[in-house]
Amino acid sequence: MTVPNLGRVGIWSMELRFGDPGAAAEAAAELDELGYGAIWFPGGIGGDVTGDFSRLLNATKRTTLATGIINLWKHEPAEIAAWWNALSDDHKARALLGIGISHGPLIGENWGKPIPVTRDWVERLTALGVPADNQCLAALGPKMVALSRDRTAGAHPYLVTPEHTAIAREILGPDKLLAPEQGVVLESDPTKARDLARAAVDHYRALPNYRSNWVRLGIAEEDIEAMSDSFIDALFAWGGVEQIAARVKQHRDAGADHVCLQVIAPQGAPIAEQRRAWREIAEALL
């Protein structure tokens, strides 16, 4: 196998997995038609992630489907491999398994050291027939980025900056996949845009993996605590499509192969609102 073709820009959306299945399938089909290279959806809470994966594969024809991410504490390699080995060759060519260690506060007493636990899980999955080229890791720190280089197709960092992209590319080398997530807010009013971003990032501040990564990038603890304008502006691109395109270019210039955009909308907003944003972004970026 070879690494699935992600194109330059993709979409990350929680609603595609957890929203109404019919509406999600229709939205995924539109993303496919618009020309996005990849569609990313979460898997972190467990559940029937492979069933949801198959549903979205069946709703699309060309685009790559990717998990952001499969929580390795919620699934055994044998479970994922059994699903993978039953896929058609066409679906395997369009499937990328983003895998992640999650967070100690969310896992509790079963938590183990991230690097050896992740290495063991990935090695077992690969031994069961899932090619390394169809796996990537949710990698923030240097050691996890290096593991993604050595054991999988590459890295899928979440809630990062273009500066992190440059650091990750240096570790990965020139040939490994680097596909950061980028939160975007299509709102030109600074107060409204930043308030939407603050609501999206708030609960992540209690998770040490993210917090320590932001500090490594030079973001001050007091800015994280206050969710200051500078903190929000570092993590989110907001404004019109020109500002979104500029942030994508920053990631690309720093070494990203692919940037997956998560449109930040008001909580509870219908998927139709995201679809309007996806169309506007596609017209500007694809």
The per-residue pLDDT for 102 is 72
Q: Grade residue 274 by pLDDT with cuts at 50, 70 and 90.
A: very high
Mean pLDDT of 264-280: 91
**pLDDT value at position 135?**
98
Looking at residue 138, what is its pLDDT?
97
Distance CA 196, CA 211 (A): 20
pLDDT at 103: 67
pLDDT at residue 26 tops 90: yes
Of 79, 2, 6, give the one whose Cα is nearest residue 38: 6
Share of the chain above pLDDT 70, in %: 97
Average pLDDT over residues 6-35: 96
Please enumerate in sequence order all residues whose Cβ is within 8 A of that of 151, keeping only pairs 6 or more positions apart, or say none.
119, 122, 123, 126, 132, 135, 137
Query: What is the mean predicted confidence (pLDDT) over 1-14?
Result: 94
Backbone angles phi, psi at 36, to 5 degrees: -65, 140
pLDDT number for residue 1: 67
152's tokens? 């999988």
Confidence of residue 107 (pLDDT cuts 50, 70, 90): low
Give the mean pLDDT of 33-56. 94
Q: What is the pTM of this model?
A: 0.96
Read off the amino acid at residue 67. T
Q: What is the pLDDT of residue 106?
A: 61
Closest CA to 274 of 45, 5, 54, 20: 20
The pLDDT of residue 43:
87
**Domain annotation for the chain: domains and CATH numbers:** 9-285 (3.20.20.30)
Q: Residue 149 pLDDT > 60, yes or no? A: yes
- Encode pLDDT of 213-266 as tens digits: 999 999 999 999 999 999 999 999 999 999 999 999 999 999 999 999 999 998
DSSP assigned state of 262? E
Q: What is the helix (H) or strand (E) element at residue 30, kind and residue range?
A: helix 21-34
What integer is the mean pLDDT of 209-214? 96
The pLDDT value recorded for residue 105 is 65
pLDDT at residue 267 in the model = 80
DSSP letter string, 129-178: T--GGGEEE---SHHHHHHHHHHSSEE---S--HHHHHHHHHHH-SSSEE
Cα distance between residue 75 and residue 78, in whole Å? 8
Rounded mean pLDDT of the chain?
Answer: 95
Q: Report pLDDT for 220.
A: 97
Q: How far apart are CA 121 and CA 8, in angstroms?
A: 29
